[in-house]
Structure 1
Amino acid sequence: MLSKEEIAGLLQAHSERVMTLGTRQIYISRANVWTTALRVFKRPSFAESCDKLYVTFASDEHDAVEDAADLGGPRREFFRLLVKAIFQDSGAFEGTPNGCTPRLNMLHLQNGVYRTIGRMMSTIIVQGGEPPAFLSPSVVDYIVSGDILQAHVTPDDIGDPDLRENLNKVQHATLQDDLDKAVSCCDSWRYQVEGLPLTVTMANRDVFVKNAVLYHTVLQRQSCLDQLIDGLSHYGVLALLRENHSLRVLLDIPGEDKGQEADFVAGILKPSYSVLGSNRRAKEELMVVKFREFLQCVQNKELRDTYGDRTLTDDEEAFLKTLSPGHILAFATGEQQSPSHWFSSNS
């Protein structure tokens, strides 16, 4: 496994190789991120461009555009909102205990939406956005290997709760009678899947479960996955992933949310001090100390205590309960987690 710094270096070098010097302006509605982004990314001409995006957010209330120049912040904010839209608003994915997996949507398949989503993910990764790391590891196995048999699956990769529960019962049965009862719950579909054991015993139940999960999570959605993979070839991201399997962390759902840690956020938002001995240095160091204390209060849900007896509105109380260090990072950079490669003066 590569370190975060090594991964960042690989992405930075790849970005410099594949991106062109021009910019491409796009207009996005915050209220309709998925719809407005889809209109941009699905254009055939978009796949031919390797320019850096220049994002302008439209104001739906005033039928105008915001004045903020895109020096990196609006683009990163757009990428963060786009990742959320892909997995929550597009209708192309469903959640499982192990992460997101493509939902079989025939209309999306016919319109090439999964391919477009792959282009979105490639653009986010190459242009320094917050990685779209929400996919189930079994899905990423197939993406990086291109081989269905290389996908390591478990019942928790299945989105349908009833199907997942039935296969978990099969997998964890300790007696043959219990196994027979669990298998009978699968009778509505198991005879339609060629190659599954017709008679399931304690000796072959693991084969039954593995192949059944493989059928429901990969084989049934292979056309969706292949479109997604085709889209990931944009910017050469697919080839990069297959050459360096450590980069799969850009797609794998993480084990823990590092973006919510105060120390992590403080490490990203490093201060730029005045020279030692200057009149401003002492004040700057004090400000950094206060900022670190503020982040710790946010992380430990102690921020309310700093207000003493001050009366807060219900909305203010609710805000303090949900505020996290990740929100502070998003306010400062447009992203709630570490970007795919480090911030730079021109990113």
Structure 2
Amino acid sequence: MMLHRPHHLAVLAMPGMSPFHLAIPQMVFEDIGDSEHSVLYQLRVFTPQPGQLRMGHGPDMVVEFGLQALDWADTVILPSWDPELPASDELLEALLSAHHRGARIVSLCLGAFLLAETGMLDGREAVTHWRYSSQLQRRYPRVQVLENVLWSDHDDVASSAGVAAGLDCCIHLLRKDHGSSVADRVARGLVMAPHRTATQAQFIPVRAPRSLDHDGHDGIERAMMQARLDLSQAISINQLAATAAMSRRTFTRQFRHRTGLSVLDWLTQQRLDQARKLLESGHAGIEEISASCGFGSPAGFRQHFRTAFGTTPSRYREEFASEAVFS
């Protein structure tokens, strides 16, 4: 979705809400642009009763905008919610009206409870913090609650798991709006991974302390670095395990603990990330990109790309390639 004017983004604030939940969309979407003279998003914090809000901790907050902000918004973010708090009819009607008008509605963490209350998630998959998944499912049986993924995106509505996953979801939305170069730049500024797949586990078991080799890299990291050196080449799990100086069984177990992904899924993710960058920044054809990123065939590349990003490589290039590619 290429946006010509700044995208209007409204973020809900409620009494007792943690300021950190409010900060998540602000950290991702505020003060970013593709040039000195282009602001990509305008953000407003709103609340049903504007004025001074007592937050969950820290100083009180003064919120200027009320529910009229939803008439202005292209995207509405519900960063959290108290599951025991009844939603007012006015708030629910304003959210439904914004959605019917075409606004994207996004819940982060416990905001899924408010989103589910609107009925927008009926018959759809949704995500919340893993500790509250069962409660959400019991309260809203028409919603298909996914307990162990980071986010779920239906284009018009999206939901995410806990705090870190909220950042991942916002980066994902930024990537959909403006491509990977902008999203990766913001992620680097936040010192976070530029892309974690939605199907990655919400939490990863604590791993044992790792021993470092003489280069300061542990075995898993060394294998990951080796794989990234030339993604055009086929590389087996056995080769990576040997690079890590581990048995195949130990390597695959520790790799999943480290990344939350299987080795093959992680490799596919690296190949797709490289393919996105090539599509955005160069003139290489689909066959050339497929080969340089290590996909077996252009058909396989297209299938993986569509599964991961919901579009074709050619369409992705048309939407997100820099102007320099076409000049």
Normalised by the shorter chain, which TM-score bucket?
A: under 0.3
Q: Scaled by the length of structure 2, what TM-score is found?
A: 0.25
Return the structure number with greater helix share: 1
Q: Mark the structure with the bigger radius of gyration.
A: 1
Return the structure number with greater strand share: 2
- Larger RCO of the pair (alpha carbons < 8 Å, separation 6+): 1
Q: Scaled by the length of structure 1, what TM-score is found?
A: 0.24
